[in-house]
Structure formats: structure tokens, C-alpha cells
Structure 1
Amino acid sequence: MNSLEVTNLRIWDESTGQVIVPNSSFQVKKGSCLAIVGESGSGKSVTCRSIVRLNKAAIRQTGDIVFNGINIAELSEQEVRKMRGKQIAMILQHGMRAFDPSCVIGVHVRETLAQHYGWSRSESEAKMTAAMESVMLKDPVAILNKYPHQLSGGMLQRIMIALAIVLEPEMIIADEPTTALDTISQYEVVEQLVHLRSRLGCSMIFVSHDFGVVKKVADEVLVMKDGEIVERGTTHAIFSGARHEYTRFLVSSKLALNQHFTRIMGGVGVVDRRSSGKVL
């Protein structure tokens, strides 16, 4: 059974006439993780934002986006707004963009939870504090009283994950959540996303160009190039026997980088020891 079915999705920039995604169709199975991979500009992020209609005003789209039997394309903006967060949560690449820079984190959290659940300030803070502690954020009360610019990218990502824990969405869209982070923070955020999916039993779309992370989190992979889907399959099939030359290029490039890094670090044994100590 599919939790999401996207059919004949076409996305273009009305101001320039540029077609970004000409015709895209894909599905996400209930409880599974679909990774969308490709180079920058391949259409990954704009595709994901189109699911919950978060693209800029000039970006137009047509096609059907059916989530649990409901065609999101036919909903009003108000109806889609109610769905965002509670049913489909987005974890963005740059945490700073997810929060209002003019107010402290706690204000954003309370408004979000009040909108979906009608909770009081004390109820919202109690549930959010517990969730933040579960993703290894120390002193949640102090963090909730800070502005976004006072926190690191890794902390902002984990706050978004904590908020998703409280909202308990049926689907999470993680749009390159590790790209802007240092290596240690990348490791921690990926681990938290894996735990979140296990905890909620939700479906996930994971957007990335990092094949190492994709191999760890995804059940299926969809490869995009210049706005088009060039290959799709199970994670094992993509890594062990990719058919399209572009996919083979991406996989081989990742392997070459890994081998080069291993040589620089002094061999496999050294890298393994450092990885287990979370140095990498």
C-alpha cells in the first residue's frame, strides 16, 4: 500500500518559462523510506516542496499528489496548511530557514503545537522538552529561549526532529538535512532520523546527494537528472547493479571519494576506529 502517489507532476517557473520538472511520477510505500538523489539542480528539492506546496509564488505545478487517498493538489491553501507538520513534516536543509528569526525558538514551537493541538503553553513546553531531551539536546528550556541565530545548524536540525516527534506525522520529508552540517553533526542527525522513523513507523522521503547516508536510511532510491527520473529501484539494486550511466557515475564517484579518504586517513582500520568513536 502506498502512502503517497505522485502522478504527472510538472513544475515550471512562471516568471521565466523554465520547465524544472517536465513530468514526474513516483510512489512512497507506507512505512518505507524513499531516497531522492541527484546533483544540485536536478529537481530534488523543488519536487519535495511541491508535495506540500511550499515552493515560491512564481513556481507553478500541475499533476496529482495523493496522500493517504487525499489529492493535495485539490486542497485549499488553508487545508494544506493544516496538513503541514501534523500529517507531513518537513525537515529542511538549512535549519535557519525553518524558524522565524525575529522570535525565540519557543514561540515558533508553541504556535505550531497550538495550531495543531490547541495545547496551552505549559503543555507544549512539557512535551517539547521531553522530545528535545530524547534527541540529545541539553537544557531544552534554555534552548527554547534562544533565537535561531544563537544555535548551531546541528541543534536546529535536532529541534526540527524533536518537533516532528511531538507532532507524530505520517510522513517526513527530509530535504538534504545533513548538507550544511559538520561530519559529527551529520552522523548524529542521521541517527536521530533513523530512530524517529522507527519510533513513529512513518514513511519518509530523504533527499540527498550523499550515497553513504542514502545506503544507511533508504529502502528504495529514485535518481533525478535535469528534472527527470532516470532510474529507480531498491537500495540494493541501485548500489549493486545500476542500469543508467548517470546512476553508475554517481555511485562510482562516491566510491572513489571514499577510497581516497580512506587512503588519506591511513587505511580501513584507522577509519573504522575513528568512525566507531564518532570522530567522523
Structure 2
Amino acid sequence: MPILEVTNLKVWDSITGRVIIPDSSFQLKKESCLAIVGESGSGKSVTCRAIMRLHKAGICQTGDILLKGENLSELSEKNMRKKRGKQLCMIMQSGMRAFDPTCVIGVHLKETLVQHFGWSHAEITTKMKHAMESVLLKNPIEVLNKYPHQLSGGMLQRVMIALALVLEPAIVIADEPTTALDTIAQYEVVEQFIRLRENVGCSMIFISHDLGVVQKIADEVLVMKAGEIVEKADTKTIFTEAQHDYTRHLVSAKLALNHHFNKIMGGVGSAEC
């Protein structure tokens, strides 16, 4: 049985009547990583927010979302809040948006962990310190006492990954987590996501437009265009035997970019992604 099943998901804007996702169905296997790729506006992030039931006002959805056989679409908001964090952990594109700018980082983490586990301040500090050290954050106690704007984007992403390590969720949803980072920070954060899967044994949905990152981290790839799923296959098949023209376009664009980069850097163009 897959850990997550999304069936006939429809998302629309109740104010304008515009349908954003007409009818999506897919599954996430236990302990696997499913990447969702596509251009901006293809419905990747909307799909993730639908799973979390975190849409903005005016955005409606129908369909079934089964987590370990339980239909999240039928839960009250109170019960859904219990699922967020402990069962479904979402790591956003911008670490700055994930934290209250008026509070130090530690306050947010404490509130989250008290809500789910009821731990004492000392327990939370000990567990977060250990987790933050494991994702290579130096001086974790000092970091806990800093405001979000005092930390870099890469550090904020690492803090969120450390929180996921402590929460040990069934599914981690990462929505373009490397987009706002420089190349070195991107590489380091992706490595931390790989270790997160290994250490927690969680399943993962990884949203990205960076096919290089997708090829490194994903077991399967789901391709979206204009709100619809146009192709889904294992990662190797997507990169070598894609069936849909749009998928082949995305892969060829990635190859062309790699070739151009290698040429600029004085290297030999390669056909590898």
C-alpha cells in the first residue's frame, strides 16, 4: 500500500472560477522520493498545499487524499492541524516565510514541538541542538536565539530540516527548497535532504524546476503542465526514455544548459544531466 494516495484532486479559484488543477491522481510509495517538476504556474506548489490543506482564502479543492489509508479531506481543521508537522512536514521555498520575524527561531521550534509532544524546554533544546549539529549548523544554541533575518537562506533551510529530524514525520514535502540559495548552499542542502530520508526513513515529495537536483534525489518523477499530470515514471526513464513531448523538452533544455555551462567553463560538453 502506498503511504499517500491522491485521487481526482481538483483545485479552483472560487472568486474567478478559474480551475487550477482539473483532475490529478498519483501515489507516493513508502520511503521513496517523488519529484514534481514543471514550469512556474504548472500546479506543483498548489498540489502540495492541497495535500497540506493550506490554500489561501478563496481557493477550494475536492478529491481524496489518503495518508496511510486515512482520508485527510474528511478531517476537521483541528484534526488536520495535528497531522501537520508530526505526519506531514512542509519545508518551504523561503526559510524566511516559515518563521515569525518578530520572534527568535527557538520560539517557533518550541511551540511546534510542545504542540506535538508536550516536551519540556530542556528536552526541546537538547533534541534540537543534536539535530542542528547533525545538519552541520555551528553554535546551535546561538542560532536558536537569533531572529530569522539574522540567518542566511541556507541556514534557515537547515533549521527546518533539523526540525523535521526531530519530528520524524511520515512525509516531508519540500517546495522548491533550493531555489533561493546559491550553488554551494544548494548542494549542501540537497545532501541534507538525502540524509534526512536515510535517518528518518520518511517518504518525500520534492518540488523543483532544477532537473539536476531531481535526478540526484528522486526515485520517481511526476511532470506537470498547466495543472495536469502529463507523465509519471521512475527517474531513469524520465531522463532517458521520456514519452511526452513536454518532458523531452524539459530534459533537452537541461542538457543544453549543461553543455553551455561546460563550454563557458572551458570543459567538454557532456550528454549527461
Superposition TM-score, scaled by structure 1 size: 0.95
Structure 1 counterpart SS, 2:6: strand
In structure 2, runs of 5+ residues without a counterpart are none
Shift of 1:122: 1.0
Amino acid at match of 2:12: W
In structure 1, runs of 5+ residues without a counterpart are 270-280
Shift of 1:259: 0.7
Shift of 1:268: 4.7
Matches within 5 A, 1:139-178: 139-178=139-178
| Distance in structure 2 (CA, Å) of the matches to 1:182 and 1:49 | 25
Shift of 1:15: 1.6
| Distance in structure 2 (CA, Å) of the matches to 1:104 and 1:202 | 28
Residue 199 (structure 2) aligns with:
199
Shift of 1:266: 1.2
Residue 122 (structure 1) aligns with:
122
Residue 24 (structure 2) aligns with:
24
Residue 35 (structure 1) aligns with:
35
Structure 2 counterpart SS, 1:155: helix
Residue 96 (structure 1) aligns with:
96
| Distance in structure 2 (CA, Å) of the matches to 1:121 and 1:45 | 34
Amino acid at match of 1:137: L
Q: Deviations over 1:178-205 (max 9, x none)?
A: 0010001100000000000011111100
| Distance in structure 2 (CA, Å) of the matches to 1:31 and 1:141 | 31
Residue 273 (structure 1) aligns with:
none
Structure 1 counterpart SS, 2:3: strand
Residue 278 (structure 1) aligns with:
none
Residue 67 (structure 1) aligns with:
67
Matches within 5 A, 1:50-89: 50-89=50-89
Shift of 1:52: 1.1
Structure 2 counterpart SS, 1:78: helix
Q: How many residues are paired up?
A: 269
Q: Deviations over 1:238-276 (max 9, x none)?
A: 00010110000000000100110011111059xxxxxxx
| Distance in structure 1 (CA, Å) of the matches to 2:118 and 2:3 | 27
Residue 238 (structure 2) aligns with:
238
Structure 2 counterpart SS, 1:248: helix
Q: Deviations over 1:105-157 (max 9, x none)?
A: 00000000000000011110110011000000000111111111111110000
| Distance in structure 2 (CA, Å) of the matches to 1:199 and 1:232 | 27
| Distance in structure 1 (CA, Å) of the matches to 2:159 and 2:55 | 23
| Distance in structure 1 (CA, Å) of the matches to 2:167 and 2:16 | 38
Amino acid at match of 1:127: K
Amino acid at match of 2:65: I
What value does the CA root-mean-square deviation take over the aligned residues?
Answer: 0.9
Q: Percent identity?
A: 71
| Distance in structure 1 (CA, Å) of the matches to 2:149 and 2:268 | 38
| Distance in structure 2 (CA, Å) of the matches to 1:243 and 1:137 | 42
> Is 2:118 the partner of 1:112?
no
Amino acid at match of 1:211: L
